[in-house]
């Protein structure tokens, strides 16, 4: 078996709120392997975003152990090994599309040519023609594609997406998701998508469900 990208043993996350302990994520054990395609489903406030932030090494568990065996060490994972796609693309308005996409590599001081990497990412998502445009010139669907390209720049191996199509109409959402899946085709990258959209979830091989902070057993879908 391939070395897992993520290995969690009894991982939980709790918060103190008004003197009470809130279990945002009840202790859970799981693995994420190369080429996994996972839909994370559940109602708002059930803990999906909490789990994604832990997987992204943007937060720390308060219980259990979380490791990234095939990816690297805590604190050294983003953006080269792990990237995150948020519901809103959050593009910097003063930078054009290509500059926005190249930004993670510049911040991380990665070797190579960030602009060339940005051009490859834009081409992979099918929006190379938008490279010189400013964010204010983009439609909602175009801006979200730019956000996807930024998440893919440099070839991270684990992509975590938090409601990436939540602000888009159904047709545009499917088109954006088409672009994401096509860009990952033929790579060993794993994808975890938090979504309320059952049509998006059905396009992934595995469904994880959450309810009140509890991660339920995975359901494998027939493709």
The rounded distance, in Å, linking the Cα atoms of 203 and 63 is 32
For residues 173 and 161, the answer to whether their CB atoms sit within 8 Å is: no
Please indicate whether residue 18 or residue 28 has the higher confidence score (pLDDT). Answer: 28
Residue 218 has a pLDDT of: 66
Residue 1 has a pLDDT of: 72
Q: What percent of the chain has pLDDT over 90?
A: 71
Structural class in CATH, domain 35-59+78-220: alpha beta
Model pTM score: 0.92
Helix 114-125 crosses helix 140-152 at what angle (to 10 degrees)?
130
Helix 97-107 crosses helix 140-152 at what angle (to 10 degrees)?
30
CB neighbours of residue 49 within 10 Å: 18
For residues 102 and 115, the answer to whether their CB atoms sit within 8 Å is: yes
Digit-coded pLDDT (tens) for 98-122: 999 999 999 888 778 999 999 999 9
Residue 217 has a pLDDT of: 63
Digit-coded pLDDT (tens) for 68-98: 999 999 988 988 899 999 888 889 999 999 9
All structural domains of the chain with their residue ranges? 35-59+78-220
Which 3 state secondary structure label does DSSP give 149? helix
Digit-coded pLDDT (tens) for 135-167: 999 998 899 999 999 999 989 999 999 988 888
């Amino acid at each position: 078996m391939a070395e897992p990208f993520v290995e969690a043993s009894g991982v939980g996350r709790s918060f103190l709120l008004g003197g009470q302990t809130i279990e945002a994520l009840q202790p859970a054990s799981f693995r994420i392997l190369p080429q996994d395609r996972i839909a994370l489903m559940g109602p708002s406030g059930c803990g999906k975003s909490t789990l994604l932030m832990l997987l992204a090494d943007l937060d720390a568990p308060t219980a259990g152990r979380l490791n990234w065996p095939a990816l690297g060490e805590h604190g050294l994972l983003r953006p080269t090994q792990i990237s995150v796609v948020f519901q809103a693309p959050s593009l910097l308005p003063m930078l054009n599309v290509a500059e926005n996409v190249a930004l993670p590599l510049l911040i991380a001081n990665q070797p190579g040519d960030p602009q060339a990497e940005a051009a490859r990412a834009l081409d992979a998502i099918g929006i190379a023609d938008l490279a010189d445009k400013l964010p204010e010139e983009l439609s909602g669907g175009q801006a979200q594609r730019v956000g996807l390209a930024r998440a893919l720049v440099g070839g991270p191996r684990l992509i975590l997406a938090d409601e990436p199509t939540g602000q888009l109409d159904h047709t545009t959402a499917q088109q954006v998701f088409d672009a994401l899946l096509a860009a990952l085709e033929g790579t060993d990258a794993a994808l975890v998508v938090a979504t309320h959209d059952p049509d998006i979830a059905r396009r992934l091989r595995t469904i994880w469900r959450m309810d009140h902070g509890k991660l339920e057993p995975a359901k494998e879908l027939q493709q």
